[in-house]
């Protein structure tokens, strides 16, 4: 569709001689919150790297906001309005504020400044800890910092890889609420989640990967009464 914020078609991708993605098709519409689930090692993170421009596919096409970006660098994609959240990386010895400022490097100074203010407004907990070294944050606060960094760019599309990994359920709940609020402001979101229950509670639509391709796509309400289907989709090989 012409007005998709993200459209990937026929994506093949390899690490050296080993092919891990096989003709992946995936789209995210304006304002949509889409989940991507599937067994470990199926290629979810690799797909996000292809979408963000960090890994070049051997075949296929990636479009962002209606433009072909297949050969476009990761930095250019950021400037187009794409942000990617992966892991919990932060510079531990730097303050929360300096971590945020550092992340505005690709932006003009005034833009970066406004972006930092906007990100801290979304996360008052971080604002309180602005001058504290990032290493002293709790797991959940560190994840907030990772999200806040992405928000500095004021993205139109946010890609999130395993936000809930290693966090207590209560912390995950708070972060999901943040994602929901960002989505409610019109930001489109694609979230990779290893917990299918987390994904189902959050998304408009959920895609399941199997053997390096999208195997199924459902709306959460259609899966509510079908735990055996969800289980087989998460184990792979039975879809």
How many whole angstroms separate alpha carbon 161 and alpha carbon 191? Answer: 6
CB of 26 to ligand ADP, least distance (A): 13
Taking the least distance from each CB to ligand ADP, the nearer of 28 and 51 is 51
Q: Pick from 11, 24, 33, 42: which binds ligand ADP (CB under 6 A)? A: 42
**Quick one: three-class SS letters along 20-82?**
EEEEEEEEECCCCEEEEECCCCCCHHHHHHHHHCCCCCCEEEEEECCEECCCCCHHHHHHHCE
* CA proximity to 184, closest of 198, 166, 204, 160: 204
CB of 48 to Mg ion, least distance (A): 8
The reply to whether 194 sits near Mg ion by the rule CB under 5 A is: no
* CA proximity to 20, closest of 5, 3, 40: 40
Q: Pick from 9, 12, 19, 20: which binds ligand ADP (CB under 6 A)? A: 20
What is each CA distance from 144 to 15, 125, 166, 198, in whole angstroms? 31, 9, 14, 17
Burial class (CB in 10 A: 0-12, 13-18, 19+), 80: middle
User: Of Mg ion, ligand ADP, none, which one does residue 40 interact with (CB within 5 to 8 Å by kind)?
Assistant: ligand ADP
Strands, sheet with 213-218, edge to edge from the N-terminal-most edge strand: 82-86, 157-161, 188-192, 33-37, 205-210, 213-218
Q: Pick from 27, 44, 103, 218: which binds ligand ADP (CB under 6 A)? A: 44
The reply to whether 57 sits near ligand ADP by the rule CB under 6 A is: no
In degrees and rounded to multiples of 5, residue 188 shows phi and psi of -80, 145
Q: Pick from 9, 45, 111, 132: which binds Mg ion (CB under 5 A)? A: 45
Which range, of 37-45, 83-91, 103-111, 213-221, touches ligand ADP by CB under 6 A?
A: 37-45
The reply to whether 41 sits near ligand ADP by the rule CB under 6 A is: yes
CB of 161 to Mg ion, least distance (A): 6
Question: How many residues in the shown chain lie near ligand ADP by CB under 6 A?
Answer: 9
The reply to whether 164 sits near ligand ADP by the rule CB under 6 A is: no
CB of 192 to ligand ADP, least distance (A): 7
The reply to whether 43 sits near ligand ADP by the rule CB under 6 A is: yes
The reply to whether 195 sits near Mg ion by the rule CB under 5 A is: no
């Amino acid at each position: 569709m012409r007005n998709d914020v993200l459209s990937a078609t026929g994506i093949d991708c390899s690490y050296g001689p080993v092919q891990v993605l096989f003709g992946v098709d995936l789209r995210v519409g304006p304002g949509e919150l889409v989940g991507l689930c599937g067994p470990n090692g199926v290629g979810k993170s690799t797909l996000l790297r292809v979408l963000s421009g960090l890994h070049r596919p051997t075949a296929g096409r990636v479009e962002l906001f209606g433009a072909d970006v297949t050969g476009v660098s990761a930095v250019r994609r950021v400037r187009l309005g794409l942000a990617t959240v992966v892991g919990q990386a932060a510079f531990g010895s730097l303050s929360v504020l300096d971590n945020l400022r550092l992340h505005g490097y690709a932006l003009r100074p005034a833009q970066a400044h406004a972006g930092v203010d906007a990100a801290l407004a979304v996360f008052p907990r971080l604002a309180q800890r602005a001058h504290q070294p990032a290493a002293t944050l709790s797991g959940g606060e560190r994840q907030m910092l990772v999200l806040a960094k992405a928000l500095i760019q004021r993205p139109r599309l946010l890609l999130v890889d395993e936000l809930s990994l290693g966090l207590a359920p209560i912390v995950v709940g708070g972060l999901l609420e943040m994602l929901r609020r960002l989505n409610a402001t019109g930001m489109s979101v694609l979230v990779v989640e290893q917990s299918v229950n987390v994904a189902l509670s959050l998304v408009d639509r959920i895609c399941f990967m199997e053997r390096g391709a999208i195997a199924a796509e459902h709306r959460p309400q259609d899966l509510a009464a079908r735990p055996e289907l969800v289980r087989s989709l998460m184990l792979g090989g039975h879809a």
